[in-house]
Amino acid sequence: MSDRNLRIVMMGPPGCGKGTQGDILQESLGVPHISTGEILRNAGKEGTELGLKAKALIDDGNFVPDDMIIAIIKEALAKPEMQKGFILDGFPRTVPQAEALDVMLAELNAPLDFVFQLQVPDEILAERIVGRYTCTQCGAGYHDRFKTPKFYGVCDKCGNTEFVRRADDNRRTIKARLATYRASTAPVLPYYETKGILYCVDGTGSIVKVKAKIEQIIGV
Ligand code: ADP
Ligand code: ZN
């Protein structure tokens, strides 16, 4: 485990491996991985007004409005456990969100260190998305072909035997999600490139290979 304060953003289209690598980095760096998708989906399950609104948008393959998600992230970043760093995944997804994040981090005097862009072609993204599922208890991510539990039907991390697939992880919504990514999120990449903190990583290798490339850049 590292004693460095690292503030990292994982970027890339749905299915590129942001969540998977975010979880791995959480272990190796000892800083929390905040997945905004997960936060929103949990809020949907809890049935709060904000959560239900977000759930309806996500299930249709849409984004949650900037002000809603910015408020959620601001709350999360204020938590004491975030003071030694974090791995953000699923945020920022638009240029206004990236700008809002910069303002928040400037106030905390805590700029970003690394923004990773995981590059994966569309055909592979679709394969990864339709095969993925998560443990209902601990949120560990799996895949029908690429990441199966050691014992069939049993979560490696917590032993739970119930899993869930995301409502929007189907071929019907993938096209729309990729188009939204290209239109709204891809423009965030040059924003970080200009700042000199964007690192492009080939995300097509195995989970272990991608992990090694990222950790080499960070210098773990
Ligand atoms: P994202 O968070 O970017 O949407 P995920 O981390 O959920 O993507 O990954 C999508 C699916 O692909 C998951 O089921 C995961 O287990 C699998 N996966 C992630 N990285 C790889 C990889 N390098 N090779 C094969 N499958 C992967
Ligand atoms: Zn589990």
82-130 confidence digits (pLDDT tens): 888 999 999 999 999 999 999 999 998 999 999 999 999 999 999 999 9
> Which atom of ligand 1 approaches the CA of 132 most closely?
14
Point out the residues that are catalytic. 18, 93, 132, 166, 177
Ligand 1: does its nearest atom lie under 6 Å from the Cβ of 7?
Answer: no
CB hemisphere CA count around 76 (13 angstroms): 21
For CA atoms 125, 18, 137, 160, the dihedral sign is: positive
Q: Is residue 205 part of a domain?
A: yes
Q: What percent of the chain has pLDDT over 90?
A: 70
For CA atoms 150, 31, 14, 122, the dihedral sign is: negative
Q: Are 88 and 34 in contact (CB under 8 A)?
A: yes
**pTM (2 decimals)?**
0.90
Angle between helices 36-46 and 49-59 (to 10 degrees): 120
Ligand nearest the Cα atom of residue 10? 1
pLDDT band at 77 (very low <50, low <70, confident <90, very high): confident
Ligand 1: does its nearest atom lie under 6 Å from the Cβ of 14?
Answer: yes
The single-letter DSSP state of residue 82 is G
- CATH, residue 38: 3.40.50.300
Ligand nearest the Cα atom of residue 147? 1
Split into its structural domains, the chain has a count of 1
Residue type, 218: I
Ligand 1: does its nearest atom lie under 6 Å from the Cβ of 134?
Answer: no
Q: Is residue 129 part of a domain?
A: no
Residue type, 116: F
Q: Which residue range(s) make up the domain with 82?
A: 6-121+197-218
Q: Is residue 26 part of a domain?
A: yes
> Which atom of ligand 1 approaches the CA of 210 most closely?
23
The single-letter DSSP state of residue 198 is E
pLDDT band at 2 (very low <50, low <70, confident <90, very high): low
Cα separation, 114 vs 134, in Å, equals 27
Q: Is residue 147 part of a domain?
A: no
Segment 47-60, tens digit of pLDDT: 878 778 888 887 88
Ligand 1: does its nearest atom lie under 6 Å from the Cβ of 132?
Answer: yes
Task: Give me 167's structure tokens.
Answer: 């409502």
Cα separation, 177 vs 183, in Å, equals 10
Provide the mean pLDDT of the chain.
92
pLDDT band at 63 (very low <50, low <70, confident <90, very high): confident
Task: Give me 181's structure tokens.
Answer: 């990514």
Q: Which residues surround ligand 2, an ion (CB under 5 A)?
A: 135, 137-138, 140, 155, 157-158, 160
Q: Is residue 28 part of a domain?
A: yes
Q: Is residue 187 part of a domain?
A: no
Q: Is residue 92 part of a domain?
A: yes
Ligand 1: does its nearest atom lie under 6 Å from the Cβ of 96?
Answer: no
Task: Give me 163's structure tokens.
Answer: 């899993």
Q: Which of 116, 119, 132, 156 to mutate to test the pocket of ligand 1 (most atoms within 8 A of CB)?
A: 132
Residues 211/90/35/138 CA torsion (nearest 10 deg) = -70
